[in-house]
Structure 1
């Protein structure tokens, strides 16, 4: 990971960079920022069930707030007095996902990006970053993203955006995402890729050392290492699937009741009921990544779908990341949603590194010493 050569120009300002994480979830982005050395003081999210994991694993305060209702004064008060204010967030990506369909609430959720823009306008952070699915760029012919960029540029920010594969930054998963930066100092460049080609982190590297478990079981020492049970027919299906394979490996009797596979569109969806491959990064994890029928989420060798802990590791969460308070039940659907929605910490680290490197550069100035915008 590229490290800033020096933070001396920033330190000379006697101001330290401090971030607030909007739509923080269980803290994937915050955790990556902390690893990179960029302090996050607070996370804001509407889902209160994220509070334990966020605060337990990160030295930051969780605010249970709706972004459409939280005030700029409340957010601004989170920053130390002499901080370089950084506001980051990942607006819920489901409205822009191919998996979303035409859910009736999707229009309400994409409006959260407009709320994020209004918050930026009032808080006036020096740096902004946003992560989302790549389809945001084409959703509604690009209107939502373009409106957001126009808003930022109208406020005096220089905006840069990148489409990245999280696997290129050490995440053991092929996960393509749009990363946007905005700064009043000039355009922010994304740090160089750290993993390419044979350097990509594989599924085996991430999860093969975990104890074997069976479908429907949990490891006695780690409640998060828990896999969903399988029906008799789905057990036969996973047993008939080779490593890296899918439903096309099966004998006809195992797919006879899958009517969707008879359509031309269904035949293209070959990841369903698939097994991962040890030697490759995982496919993109979703909130349904523990379901065998939802994608290539079968364990490479064991006859089951991946466990919650395996999903967390494939998202690049640290091994000891705690998602459930001791003594509390492990609610699989909630945790799968939290893990699948998270920004991979390793990707968050790259975002933070990019911001720190940008802030390490001197502020451009006119000949009279006044700050000016950089020309690009």
Structure 2
């Protein structure tokens, strides 16, 4: 390759996208995030430098410190849209979803990187801010393409659909073909069955992240009668919550469910450690999945550390880091697409 590559990861979180880029051979110089809890996992598991900074306050001169003259400069980012994210708490209901995407567009205009990667929720495509983003790319003479990605197609054992936009000054970037077909989609069994059994509220003595939440006596009774892939509708009447008996409750069949061994998991969220927060019950054991199991379903390596060994593991905090992350294998697929494009233009 005739030119070096410099990548900056905005909204880097705990490092899922960066780790995927590095595994694919795409170097990352720095990651920016507003959440101080991201610093340890980002720097401990990756070669890139973590910078604690609000994206609204980042300037082109900040990014210029990482972008080398003559190198191929890449700006990647996944602007969080969840109302419970650290960024979004700063904004009111109208602003919180898309303001960060506009900050991303501003930085693109100011520093004009050679290549852009954006990963986000599918819903973004149907909002005016996405059209604004596309208009900006056209104005700056980028070639671009957006893809609706099913993470199952890239070896991620999780039903998770995302929007991936790739743009370049050199030409269109094609997303690499799917690496997995439905008949060989990765399953929950292939991903977490090997881990030691736990009871609700128990922690592994070997892996501090392999710990699961406690269950109330009522939820212990509920999970014992829950079927893999089933819902609260399978329970005896005396175990069903009153809110589920209302008309509105019937629209939430995915809560209080178990995963199925031989299928992919549902989308891993920031609340995946709670039995009542989705279909996050272990397929066999009477508990919710552990933090390590959630991280593996997000395709983080088994040894990926989210907190230092001498620090307590906050379930809410680590759950947020895991659920907000870009799956590592999706990062690999995006990086491979970019690298193939760079090889072609060189």
Q: Unaligned stretches of 5+ in structure 2?
A: none
Point out the more displaced range, 273-282 or 115-124.
Answer: 115-124
Partner SS state of residue 149, structure 2: strand
CA distance in 1, matches of 2:314, 2:287: 18
> Paired residue for 1:311, among 290, 294, 317?
294
Show CA shifts across 1:204-242 (max 9, x none).
111000000111110011110010000000000000101
Q: Note the residue ranges of structure 1 that are not aligned, 5 or more in a row.
A: 1-10, 364-376
Q: 1:324 to 1:96 in 2, by over 3 A?
A: closer
1:58 to 34, 39, 46: 46
Alpha-carbon distance, 1:135 to partner: 1.1
1:223 match: secondary structure: coil
Q: 1:181 to 1:169 in 2, by over 3 A?
A: same
State how far apart, in whole Å, the 1-side matches of 2:174 and 2:185 are. 22
Secondary structure of the 1:44 match is strand
Query: Does residue 261 in structure 1 map to residue 244 in structure 2?
Result: yes
Q: Is the 8 A contact 2:170 2:345 kept in 1?
A: no
Q: How does 1:149-188 map to 2 (within 5 A)?
A: 149-188=134-173
State the match for 2:74 in structure 1: 86
Contact 2:81 2:96 in 1 (8 A): no
Alignment of 1:1-376 (within 5 A): 11=1, 14-94=2-82, 104-105=92-93, 107-138=95-126, 142-255=127-240, 258-362=241-345
Distance 1:295 1:112 in 2: 27
Moved more, 259-268 or 28-37: 259-268
Question: Higher RCO, 1 or 2 (CA under 8 Å, sep at least 6)?
Answer: 1
The verdict on how the C-alpha distance between 1:161 and 1:206 changes in structure 2, with shifts beyond 3 A counting, is same
Residue pair 1:38, 1:352 contacting (<8 A) in 2 also: yes
| 1:96/1:136 contact within 8 Å kept | no
- What TM-score do you get using the length of structure 2 for normalisation? 0.96
Post-superposition offset of 1:353:
0.6
SS of the residue corresponding to residue 353 of structure 1 reads: helix
CA distance in 1, matches of 2:194, 2:237: 35
TM-score scaled to structure 1, two decimals? 0.88
Separation of aligned partners in 1, 2:256 and 2:324:
21
Q: Secondary structure at the match of 2:303?
A: coil
Query: Is contact 2:6-2:66 (8 Å) kept?
Result: no
**Matched residue pairs, number?**
342
Maintained 8 Å contact 1:95/1:107? no
Note the aligned Cα RMSD (angstroms): 1.6
**For the residues of structure 2 that align with 1:215 and 1:111, how far apart are their CA atoms?**
40
In structure 1, distance between residues paired with 2:243 and 2:83: 24
Deviations 1:35-72 (A, max 9, x none): 11100111000111100000000001000011100111
